[in-house]
Structure 1
Amino acid sequence: MSGETFFEKFDQLTEAPDAVSKLRELILELAVRGQLFAKTPLKDWALIRVGEITAAGLSSVNPAEAPNQLFELWSVPAFATGEPEVLTGAQIGSTKRQLPDRSILLGKINPHLNRVWKVKRRTEHALIASPEWITITPDNSWDPDYLARLLSSPSFNRKLCSTAQGMGSLTRASTKKVAEIEIRRPPLVEQKRIVAKVDELMTLCDRLEAQQQERQTRRATLSRASLERFANAPTPSSLDFLFHDSYPIEPADLRRSILTLAVRGKLTLQDSNDEPAEELLEIIAGQRANLLGSNALRHTKLCRQFTSDEVPYDVPSNWAWTMLGEITDIGTGGTPSRTEASYWIDGTVPWITSGSTSHSPITEGDEYVTPAAVKAHRLRVYPAGTLLIALYGQGKTRGQVATLEIAATINQACAAICPLAGIPSMQNYLKLLLEKQYDEMRALSAGGAQPNLNIQKIKELFVPLPPLAEQRRIVVRVGQLMALIDKLEADIDEAQAKSALLLEALILEATRERAAT
């Protein structure tokens, strides 16, 4: 397939990840293979080794010997700016190499093995370069612009990387092995023709990229408008706008929007026959007092009092504001001594850490401890259905919430949210609320060398409490909408995967080897 045919099909591939960057790579690859044009005879393309155009015997320069002299330094860090540094010898301080004008610098140290820099004198000062470059000095049979593009092509970069030696940041391309890499040199006239075509196609890529960015901006604007419309009027008709093919909304944004609406009473209709939440709170308070009086519930620090001015937003009239610690039993855990083998060997009690909160529901322990450990450390074994919140942990862990599907004990990095005995479970609704409050919980723990939540902060999380019957309706409705979003996300992933596969197939077809003619 010719390059022209590929570009005709490119519109089908714009949803593929990094489509334009891959197109740029393809253009360079087609160029150095002589496949940008329909009929390019390769018999006149000379096969040479890189070593034939690599500068040899360049003198070392010690700038410190001329501390007041200005140098034009082509350093590795300066590549990112596109301009060499102009420094005095005293400012440089390490040995460099002479640099002929019109050279091409090829990066040889990790992670800069893909860097190609065409030298063009900027000043009248002496040209010097870091020894971490391989210096290419083409003769008049080369167009420097063509050679720079050849050295930037994916196939050459793969060959260059294959010569690398060492480990990690000390990885360097072997100058000796790079010198053995074979490249093809077209006639000079053909080189110039290829450069002109590459520049033309790269301009097309720039235009395609700008169009993609403009389209993404429009999509983002439409997405925000659709989310706002749904938030203001969460009706079936406005819901259709959230799943419109013309401007797919990010699934994560949809999930956040739905959870926000759910806990504000905007996803479901209120029913005057529902028992008001204030009455539910009275029942919970009475049962809590009974449990405390019978020592069936541990005495812990009470939640603070709050006023109506403190609540974050308005809720329906039959809802009520409370705090999480007023309607649940909240506790934490600990880590049995690691030096006591009898606490860990042949353990049977699942022991959960904050890392497990990224996988809900939790169906197995991170480790298992013995009943002796539970007794010695007075660990609580929480029942299935308990919600766990990560109080601290790496990365995104802090603030995550998960449901226990097994009875288990936990470490000190988790808070456990248990339903009060004798009160109908509100766990499913509370899990939705806590998922919605992920960012708020992380904000509560901000600051300090190691941001942490604590049990009291969890207890004093505000809860917009609906009547029990409406809680159940909310959970069902959210489940239905989340299923739609899961399908949407799967469809997006499938479309991107198909586009990526098609793109790779077309690239393979476009760049397949052909016999020289």
Structure 2
Amino acid sequence: EIQAEKEKLIKEKKIKKEKPLPEIEADEIPFEIPNNWKWVRINDLFDVARGGSPRPIKAFLTEDINGINWIKIGDTEIGGKYIYHVKEKIKPEGLKKSRFVKSGDLLLTNSMSYGRPYILKTDGCIHDGWLVLSPFVYSLNKEFFYYLISSQYIKREFTKTAVGAVVKNLNKNKVKAIIIPLPPLAEQKRIVAKLDELLPHLNPGKEP
């Protein structure tokens, strides 16, 4: 289903066709998973892209009700999982120099503290301090991938891919190639329910 949707998006020119990543080799697999799970690359499930910033940003900020949400790292909460609201908007013409993202996408911080995930609960534009993971099939359990990306395994993988002499940033193409375990959807939901029970501080609750 995921691969079919990906091909459909390519045909509709909503995403670009890219050179296929190599098959996952046995020596890449870091640990065993249940037989009904599958190792996949992030690029198999998500379109990964970097944000963009219209400059000078002050010239594009607006208080007009028709402005586009301007999603910044400052709109997140410490220990939060979701981004519900933003403080600023940009003029529609800024869209051409930025990247539009949708509710249900996953955002990753890509600046001083890289790789911190958030689940979007609003639409808007993101600057280049973010990477966005847009699922090819929105029925994927976003909370499962939030917890997976928050895991020590993925943090180690991000550390391997981060580039920069002074300030480390995530390399988009290397993030795409990271392998992750994919359980069946029903199991994704069971894992999330158990983690929400065990880690309530990571689930701050409903929209304020």
Normalising by structure 2, what TM-score? 0.83
1:302 to partner: Cα distance = 4.2
1:346 to partner: Cα distance = 3.0
> Higher strand fraction: Structure 1 or Structure 2?
2
1:457 to partner: Cα distance = 2.0
Question: What does the per-residue CA deviation read over 1:342-395, in whole Å, with 9 as the maximum and x for residues that have no partner?
Answer: x223352111234545543112225321111113x2x332111211101222xx
Question: What does the per-residue CA deviation read over 1:309-354, in whole Å, with 9 as the maximum and x for residues that have no partner?
Answer: 211111001111001111112222211121772x223352111234
Q: Do 2:51 and 2:128's aligned partners in 1 also have CA atoms closer than 8 Å?
A: yes
Q: Secondary structure at the match of 2:108?
A: strand
Q: Secondary structure at the match of 1:364?
A: coil
Match of 1:244 in 2: none
Aligned partners of 2:74, 2:22: CA distance in 1, in Å?
A: 30
Q: Do 1:399 and 1:439's aligned partners in 2 also have CA atoms closer than 8 Å?
A: no
In structure 2, do the counterparts of structure 1 residues 476 and 413 end up closer, same or farther at CA, with 3 Å as the change threshold? same
Match of 1:154 in 2: none
| Correspondence 1:22-421 to 2 at 5 A | 283-300=1-18, 302-338=20-56, 341=59, 343-346=60-63, 348-356=67-75, 358=78, 359-375=80-96, 377=97, 379-393=98-112, 397-421=113-137
Q: Do 1:303 and 1:456's aligned partners in 2 also have CA atoms closer than 8 Å?
A: no
In structure 2, do the counterparts of structure 1 residues 461 and 339 end up closer, same or farther at CA, with 3 Å as the change threshold? closer
Question: What does the per-residue CA deviation read over 1:7-28, in whole Å, with 9 as the maximum and x for residues that have no partner?
Answer: xxxxxxxxxxxxxxxxxxxxxx
What is the percent sequence identity of the aligned residues?
26
Pick from 181, 184, 188 the counterpart of residue 464 of structure 1: 181
Q: Secondary structure at the match of 2:99?
A: coil
Q: Do 1:345 and 1:369's aligned partners in 2 also have CA atoms closer than 8 Å?
A: yes
Aligned partners of 1:388, 1:336: CA distance in 2, in Å?
A: 19
Q: Do 2:117 and 2:150's aligned partners in 1 also have CA atoms closer than 8 Å?
A: yes
Q: Do 2:104 and 2:142's aligned partners in 1 also have CA atoms closer than 8 Å?
A: yes
Aligned partners of 1:303, 1:353: CA distance in 2, in Å?
A: 31
Q: Secondary structure at the match of 2:199?
A: helix
In structure 2, do the counterparts of structure 1 residues 340 and 354 end up closer, same or farther at CA, with 3 Å as the change threshold? closer
The one-letter amino acid paired with 1:362 is I
In structure 2, do the counterparts of structure 1 residues 425 and 364 end up closer, same or farther at CA, with 3 Å as the change threshold? same
In structure 2, do the counterparts of structure 1 residues 482 and 325 end up closer, same or farther at CA, with 3 Å as the change threshold? same
> Higher helix fraction: Structure 1 or Structure 2?
1
Bigger RCO (CA 8 Å, 6+ sep): 2
Q: Do 1:354 and 1:411's aligned partners in 2 also have CA atoms closer than 8 Å?
A: no
Match of 1:263 in 2: none
Unaligned 5+ runs, structure 2: 202-208
Aligned partners of 2:57, 2:109: CA distance in 1, in Å?
A: 25
Aligned partners of 1:331, 1:391: CA distance in 2, in Å?
A: 11
In structure 2, do the counterparts of structure 1 residues 339 and 389 end up closer, same or farther at CA, with 3 Å as the change threshold? closer
Normalising by structure 1, what TM-score? 0.35
Pick from 149, 158, 167 the counterpart of residue 441 of structure 1: 158
Q: Could you say which structure has the larger radius of gyration? A: 1
Match of 2:198 in 1: 481
After superposition, the CA RMSD in angstroms is: 2.3
Count of matched residue pairs = 195
The one-letter amino acid paired with 2:140 is S
Q: Do 2:102 and 2:123's aligned partners in 1 also have CA atoms closer than 8 Å?
A: yes
In structure 2, do the counterparts of structure 1 residues 425 and 389 end up closer, same or farther at CA, with 3 Å as the change threshold? same
Unaligned 5+ runs, structure 1: 1-282, 487-517
